[in-house]
Amino acid sequence: MRARAQEVTRGTALRSTMKALLYLFKFIIRSRQVQMRALLLRHDEEFHSELRVLFDAFSTMMQLHSPPDVLLTQPVCLQYFASIFPELEQVCPSCGGP
């Protein structure tokens, strides 16, 4: 019973995070823009590499077939995922499309 309660709580947290994805990325992108201006940077391969790691984690999550809390989160992720690309394109033009 306790394991099920933890699974429900974890699933709720995952879905809430996916619903806030746009706002999380807005924060990340704006912070990165401020840092780049402060340091007079034009391009940062380390930041792009970290974004790739993050997207790889999303990809891995989308390929899972269990547990149920992840399966219920996958459609929510798909629903909100596209909203991040306009934000992402501001710091990574090659990440936003073909």
Q: List, for residues 14-60, the tens digit of each pLDDT value.
A: 888 888 888 998 999 899 889 888 888 777 788 888 888 988 998 99
Using the predicted structure, report yes or no on whether residue 73 has a pLDDT greater than 80: yes
The residue behind tokens 């790739």 is 52
Give whole-number Cα distances, 7 to 24, 48, 52, 64, in Å.
23, 32, 28, 16
Question: Among 68, 56, 52, 54, which Cα is nearest to 15's?
Answer: 68
Mean pLDDT for the chain?
82
User: Mapping DSSP to helix (H, G, I), strand (E, B) and coil, where does residue 21 land?
Assistant: helix
pTM (global) more than 0.75: no
Q: Is 20 in a helix, a strand, or coil?
A: coil
* Per-residue model confidence (pLDDT) at position 66: 83
What integer pLDDT is reported at residue 81 of this predicted model? 85
Q: The domain containing residue 76 runs over which residues?
A: 2-95
**Considering its fold, how many domains does the chain have in total?**
1
